[in-house]
Structure 1
């Protein structure tokens, strides 16, 4: 892993917001830098190389494949992780909360006939 990925993983493994994250998670024929399965969020830390050559087109195709599988891809510039990690973590948590878990726990059994 690159330095920005190491720094981000050090924080994500603490389960911010109560969300569990995986690193190098295989999905849609690729290894995601990080993933929150509960929120179906793929997190990619992009260095400068992602802006060169055919890499932007490749990333777009990859994001489309992930979207077809129900994942939203969050691309974070490596420089953002290095310069302001304290802002990156709450942004990730907020996005996880916004997407919410796919399956919410029930509030108990349904009411019996005649009950509210």
Structure 2
């Protein structure tokens, strides 16, 4: 797999991704602030990235790493099932996932960032 392999996506998702960036949740804003400022271990993340038929919250092309923040709505069984299907389809394309709870991001961002750093240190050769 090439280092910056582009995953194809539906072109109409680009407009939706732009809207989502403008209307981010508080936890997305908080985590984005950390990801953007720290350029974690030299890797650059992007937010609201279209892939296939989906949009992931944050994505690092070099690591093939998607980071998702699951809010209250993700406790809904139908949404959780859709998340699982979506994640499996993207994993088939070589994407790795880290998922964090919305409340966890709001209360423990330092722990979240440390978890992301740990994942990168342990897995960056897999991308």
TM-score, shorter chain, exceeding 0.5: yes
2:59 to 25, 29, 35: 35
Which protein is bigger by CA-based radius of gyration?
A: 1
Question: What 5-or-longer segments of structure 2 have no aligned partner?
Answer: 1-23
Question: Counterpart of 2:79?
Answer: 55
Cα distance in 2 for partners of 1:48, 1:38 equals 30
Query: How far did 1:73 drift?
Result: 1.5
**Preserved CA contact (<8 Å) 1:28 1:69:** no
**Preserved CA contact (<8 Å) 1:34 1:43:** yes
SS of equivalent to 1:35: strand
Is 1:13 aligned with 2:48? Answer: no
Q: Deviations over 1:43-85 (max 9, x none)?
A: 1111011011301110000000110110111111001101110
Equivalences, count:
103
Cα distance in 2 for partners of 1:21, 1:49 equals 24
Please identify runs of 4+ aligned residues in structure 1 that moved more than 3 A: none
**Preserved CA contact (<8 Å) 1:16 1:93:** yes
Q: Which structure: greater helix fraction?
A: 2
Select between 94-103 and 42-51 the one with higher mean Cα deviation: 94-103
Question: What 5-or-longer segments of structure 1 have no aligned partner?
Answer: 104-116
User: Given the two structures, how large is their TM-score scaled by the length of structure 1?
Assistant: 0.83
Question: Counterpart of 1:106?
Answer: none
